[in-house]
Structure 1
Amino acid sequence: MLLGFKETPIGKIPEDWEVVRLGDVTKVNPESINPAKEAPDEEFYYIEIDSIQNSKIKSVKKIIGKNAPSRARRVVRENDVIMSTVRPYLKAFVIVPKKYDGQICSTGFAVLRCKNELIEPKYLLYNLFMDRTIEQCNRLMVGGQYPALNQSHVEQLKIPLPPLPEQRKIAEILSTVDEAIQKVDEAIVKTERLKKGLMQELLTKGIGHTEFKDTEIGRIPKEWEVVRLGDVAYEFISGGTPSTKVAKYWNGDIPWIRSVHITKFYIDERSIGQYITKEGLENSAAKIIPKNNLIIATRVGIGKSAVNLIDVAINQDLTGIMLNKSKAEPFFLVWYLNSPKIVSLLESFSRGTTIKGIPQDYIKKLLIPLPPLPEQQKIAEILSTVDKKLELERKRKEKLERIKKGLMNDLLTGRRRVKV
């Protein structure tokens, strides 16, 4: 038989679900300890709010009881749910794994120990992330610089409560998606490590070289040259911004970018945030950089650079570098300019007070390694292939996160029921 829905203080839920307060289905902060007095010589893991990243406990300190900070007071057990009560909208919530059973967390957390006959810990955790729960936290928390909830506030938070078997099934489905996200995360970390290693290897040692030489930029293959960036470019072009007070300068068909739009090593149609008109171009310092050249941030977002795969106009934060393609492969240069060494160098050279900047002359004189063109192209191809793999993995993660969000909104409201 199909059941209907009922109105509740937290929205519509199925007729056979209840609305409960966290204080009804959990024990809040059930155990406390003063390690300095009660266990001065014992060693503990100490979980702080900063230890929580992406619903996982990471970067946990070990402390000796006598050295414990004054906030190290709450004892946690396996399967406790801990939620940050300081700025809870940042969502530092997690289930305590077996490794941290009997350890200590900060008083900046509320420890929720589930009454097992009433609520499933993972079901509770997923509910904490829902907008309706965060909205309740925002209404209840007090304080200015560090708004927080007290224990009474936490106990008042309301969530929907299906029968226990349904809770477990909902938690199982969402956990399956979380496991898939975790696997993709691991693949991303692995590919990022590979990319970093390849950049270090290929941009300093090249491919198949056995003889090397010491140069102003370090040890490089004997066949490579060291040149200035200006030696492989025809022109360096600054940009500008059409007046935002003149409507007819905007929403045209000319792509226009700022440094904020450089989020990858290339710029394509998907990178474009704004468009200007021909009039906007002609009545400002904005300039069009023809495709397959280099664009580098020299004022805001210093050090970011990309190859533009399309003709694009740039603003004053950017410099367009018109390359001599018979000497330089654009993607080889963009990989070199995005290496940690060069990014750090460019950032350290910035000058100015409010807005830092790099003079164009400095960019022209920047020393770079120059392999033979075929080797540049091969290095660029290898690094671009790895970067595309990384991009695909990140898109896969985004897709899984969208799926999870949709499932949470359906399953935790009862709009979609599960068979148990």
Structure 2
Amino acid sequence: MINAFKFYKEEKFKETPIGKVPKDWEVIKLKGHVNIETGKRAKGGALDKGSIASIGGEHLDNEGNIRWNNMKFISEDFYKSLKHGKVKEGDILLVKDGATTGKVALVRNLKYERAAVNEHVFIIRSITNRLLNEFLFYFLFSRKGQIQIRTRFHGIIGGITKRDLETVLMPLPPLEEQKAIAHILSTVDRAIQKTNEIIEKVKRLKKGLMQELLTKGIGHKEFKDTEIGRIPKEWRVVKLKEVVLEAKPGFPCGKRDENGVIQLRMNSIDTEGWINPDAYVKVPPPKNVEEYLLKPGDILFNNTNSVDLIGKTAIFRGEFSKCVYSNHLTRMRVNPSKVIPEWILYVFIRKWHLGIFKAICHPHVHQAGINKGDLLNLKIPLPSLEEQEKIIRMILTIDKKLKAEIKKKEKLKRIKRALMDLLLTGRIRVKVN
């Protein structure tokens, strides 16, 4: 279908309050072109079960979609009493207050037959046939749209009113061009969604494979009950301190230095055991920087984070030539005669899924911590090095597939950002052939 479009570079622009736009485009305020409404809170709060969805800010993801899992619900009587806030397919939803103010999503389909927003979310609908709702969504989702929304925030943690939103300025191409732009961007969105589905499928496969291999091993027929569960008879249960040579926390640093050393932090580790090479800061190197340099094969354990994220673990695989780590991470180096780093990694990922770290952490204000002593006293299953190697190879096969799909998704997201930047500003024009 994209082949049905003709692309060309625009040459004629005009200056407007939102920057240069093509001469034949308009710039409009949302007021008079959209209807903005919100819902309200049910007396006693939302329900955990039901058939009428209650959508709050927490149900909007970072990619412009609705998270239908962990949904809240409202009663039939409350839904019938609502004069505003009932959701339809094609609606734009925007978080109006709280920490995620400005987050926006398009209701592409309704998982539940009926749904309504709560008091923290706006519904935005075009009320003119000159403005396509899907085009409006992509503008509000874009970098330029988000900048306008954020400049209208009120309060310490942000909030935006209906009147604020109505003052947002946006470019208005001819309707047919709006349709073409929306179609192109939604095509990329569908590719991202398909990739998301593959990623979730591979994650479930990996989780199931770890459950099987890290508790039953390969080819075992006899098992024994232990303090960490049922494991093969030939395996041992050991404390972490019996198989690691070092467990060293990193150093804190609030300063930044563009010419400094790369420092990994708690958000540098994902929940699948990988380092995010885009999540780091550069800090002035301490005098004893050599003590904190990472080597390939080092295990990084997230010792401080929210209760839900504490315990994330990853292996440093040489993502950077020179790299250190913060005090929110603990570096572990294993005894290679007893254990392979990836064995510790996968055992810890499974413990994280089971909520073990959540259970043993020490809660603080807004965060939680696991101290070095508790970490080293953790008990883990230990097969022979030969069996560790076999199990790791099997899980790594799935891990590589997962990593490839995640990279594919990131590439698609970069393509989408580039297309939005070009098409929504009119620098590249599109015609229907």
Normalising by structure 2, report the TM-score: 0.77
The 3-state SS of whatever aligns with 1:126 is: helix
Shift of 1:259: 5.2
The structure with more radius of gyration: 1
Contact 1:83–1:94 (Cα < 8 Å) also in 2:
no
**CA shift in 2, pair 1:353/1:146, >3 Å:** closer
8 A Cα contact 1:79 1:97, kept in partner = yes
Distance 1:4 1:380, change over 3 A: same
Return the offset for 1:319.
4.5
- Aligned equivalents of 1:203 and 1:391: distance in 2? 21
How has the CA–CA distance of structure 1 residues 251 and 374 changed in structure 2, closer, same or farther, with 3 Å as cutoff?
Answer: same
Structure 2 vs 1, CA of residues 126 and 221 (structure 1 numbering), >3 Å: closer, same or farther? same
Q: CA deviation at 1:143?
A: 4.8
Confirm or deny that 1:292 pairs with 2:297.
yes
* Alignment partner of 1:394 out of 406, 422, 430: 406
The question of whether the paired residues in 1 share the 8 Å contact of 2:96 and 2:102 is answered with no
SS in 1 for 2:85: strand
Secondary structure at 1:118 match in 2: coil
In structure 2, C-alpha distance between the alignment counterparts of 1:55 and 1:133, rounded to whole Å: 13
Closer, same or farther: CA 194–160 of 1 in aligned 2, 3 Å = same
TM alignment of 1:2-81, pairs within 5 A: 4-29=12-37, 44-53=52-61, 54-57=63-66, 58-59=68-69, 60-67=71-78, 73-81=84-92
Q: Matched residues in 1 for 2:51 and 2:248: separation?
A: 59
Deviation per residue, 1:86-122 (Å, 9 max, x gap): 3674323323636667753335444333346312221
Shift in CA distance, 130/271, structure 1 to aligned 2, threshold 3 Å: closer
Q: CA deviation at 1:13?
A: 0.8
> Do the aligned residues in 1 keep the contact of 2:253 with 2:283 (CA within 8 Å)?
no
Q: Do the aligned residues in 2 keep the contact of 1:76 with 1:100 (CA within 8 Å)?
A: no
**CA contact under 8 A between 1:174 and 1:408: conserved in structure 2?**
yes
Which of 330, 338, 346 aligns to 1:327? It is 338
Residue in 2 that maps onto 1:128: 140
Are the equivalent residues in 2 in contact too, given 1:86–1:108 (CA < 8 A)? Answer: yes
1:232 match = 243
Which amino acid is 1:407 matched to? L
Match for 1:376 among 388, 392, 398? 388
Report the count of equivalent residues.
404
How far, CA to CA, are the matches of 1:80 and 1:259 in structure 2? 36
Tell me if 1:218 matches 2:226: no
Question: Using CA pairs below 8 Å that are at least 6 residues apart, which structure has the higher relative contact order?
Answer: 2
- Describe how 1:12-411 pairs up with structure 2 within 5 A: 12-29=20-37, 44-53=52-61, 54-57=63-66, 58-59=68-69, 60-67=71-78, 73-86=84-97, 89-95=101-107, 97=109, 103-115=115-127, 117-143=129-155, 147-150=159-162, 152-233=163-244, 235-238=245-248, 241=251, 251=260, 261-263=268-270, 265=273, 279-281=287-289, 286=291, 291-298=296-303, 303-309=311-317, 317-340=328-351, 344-351=355-362, 358=370, 360-411=372-423
- Secondary structure of the 1:75 match is coil
CA 1:279–1:410: 2 relative to 1, 3 Å: same
Mapped partners of 1:62, 1:244: distance in 2: 43
Shift, 1:375, TM fit? 1.1
Deviations 1:52-77 (A, max 9, x none): 33323324444324345998832344
- Distance (Å, rounded) in 2 between the aligned partners of 1:100 and 1:352: 37
Q: Which residue of 1 aligns with 2:47?
A: none
Greater Cα offset, 56-65 or 388-397: 56-65
* Contact 1:78–1:100, Cα closer than 8 Å, also in 2: no
What CA distance in whole angstroms lies between the structure 2 residues aligned with 1:63 and 1:386? 40
In structure 2, the CA distance between the partners of 1:386 and 1:9, relative to structure 1 (3 Å rule), is same
Cα distance between partner residues in 1 of 2:73 and 2:251: 53
SS in structure 1 at match of 2:144: helix
Gaps of 5+ in 2: 1-7, 44-49
Q: Distance in 1 between matches of 2:39 and 2:396?
A: 53
Shift of 1:8: 1.3
Go from structure 1 to structure 2 and tell me whether the alpha carbon gap of 1:64 and 1:278 turns closer, same or farther (over 3 Å shift): closer
> Aligned equivalents of 2:371 and 2:190: distance in 1?
48
Going from structure 1 to structure 2, the CA distance change for 1:381 and 1:276 (only over 3 Å counts) comes to farther
3-state SS of paired residue (1:90): coil
Q: How far has the Cα of 1:278 moved from its partner?
A: 9.4
Is the helix fraction higher in 1 or 2? 1
> Residue 159 of structure 1 aligns to a residue in which SS?
strand
* Letter aligned with residue 95 of structure 1: V
Contact residue 33 and residue 75 of structure 1 kept, 8 A? no
Asked if 1 retains the 8 angstrom alpha-carbon contact of 2:39 and 2:117, the reply is no
TM-score (norm: length of structure 1): 0.79
Report if the CA contact (8 A) 2:39-2:119 is conserved: no
Is the CA contact (8 Å cut-off) linking 2:94 and 2:102 kept in structure 1?
Answer: no
The residue type equivalent to 2:345 in the other structure is: V
Alpha carbons of structure 1 residues 104 and 320: separation in structure 2 relative to 1, 3 Å: closer
Instruction: Indicate whether 1:415 and 2:427 are aligned.
Output: yes
